[in-house]
């Protein structure tokens, strides 16, 4: 599954590798990788691979799941499609509560004690994902875990998830993606090593040398 999903992400450039011309994050950090999993929705073949993989992962890893909850905004569509495949309820968690109406942060019906799985598109430092999990816990849900499409595998993110008691299962990850990228000539072996060096310490720009 990891390689199949990685192939789809590379093909549609949902994950784009550019070690020669790095991207600049909002923090100012230079990155050789850019991820936009929203592009999956625009490609029927990639969408079929990813959404079926999400549904299969929920069934395999979290068989007690009663509902799926998407992260806003990137996880919403993926949660909706996977929930339709599984025949389960779905909702989503806003980044902040609405300032009008019922001031909801959680959209969709959430019964007290409901066993839910969060659907996330990308895990980097995991801050936004954990924030969603905590909002659901505060609302009385039992969060079984998270299914994400892709993870960089950054230490900061892994440590945060562990500290928060959150189990994340990613469909694919940077290591698997880089193996496919070298095999299919998206990047060289030297570029793969540089990207891994970035992942292990994003603030150290020596990978660019």
pLDDT in tens, 120-171: 999 999 999 999 999 999 999 999 999 999 999 999 999 999 999 999 999 9
Above 70 in pLDDT, residue 78?
yes
Measured CA to CA, the distance from residue 4 to residue 50 in angstroms comes to 9
Tokens of 94: 């806003």
Q: Average of pLDDT values for 172-199?
A: 96
pTM of the model: 0.92
Residue 1 CB coordination number (10 Å): 13
What 3-state class would DSSP assign to 127? helix
If you ran DSSP here, which 8-state letter would residue 126 be given? -
Query: Which are the contacts of 209, defined by CB distance < 8 A and separation ≥ 6?
Result: none
Q: Distance (Å, rounded) from C-alpha 85 to C-alpha 65?
A: 14
pLDDT for 101 = 44
Give the tens place of pLDDT for each residue, 146-159: 999 999 999 999 99
Strand 168-173 vs strand 142-151: parallel, antiparallel, or unpaired? parallel
What is the pLDDT averaged over residues 52-66?
98
């Amino acid at each position: 599954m990891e390689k199949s999903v990685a192939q789809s992400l590379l093909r549609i450039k949902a994950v784009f590798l550019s070690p020669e011309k790095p991207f600049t994050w909002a923090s100012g950090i230079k990155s050789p990788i850019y991820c936009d999993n929203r592009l999956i929705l625009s490609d029927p073949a990639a969408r079929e691979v990813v959404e079926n993989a999400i549904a299969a992962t929920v069934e395999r890893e979290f068989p007690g799941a009663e509902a799926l909850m998407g992260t806003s905004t990137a996880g919403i569509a993926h949660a909706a499609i996977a929930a339709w495949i599984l025949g389960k309820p779905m909702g989503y968690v806003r980044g902040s509560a609405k300032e009008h109406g019922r001031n909801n942060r959680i959209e969709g019906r959430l019964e007290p004690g409901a066993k839910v799985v969060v659907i996330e598109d990308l895990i980097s430092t995991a801050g936004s994902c954990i924030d969603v999990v905590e909002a659901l816990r505060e609302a009385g849900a039992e969060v079984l875990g998270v299914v994400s499409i892709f993870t960089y595998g950054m230490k900061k993110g892994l440590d945060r998830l562990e500290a928060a008691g959150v189990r994340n299962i990613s469909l694919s990850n940077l290591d698997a993606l880089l193996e496919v990228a070298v095999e299919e000539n998206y990047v060289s072996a030297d570029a793969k090593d540089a990207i891994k060096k970035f992942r292990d310490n994003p603030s150290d720009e020596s990978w660019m040398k």
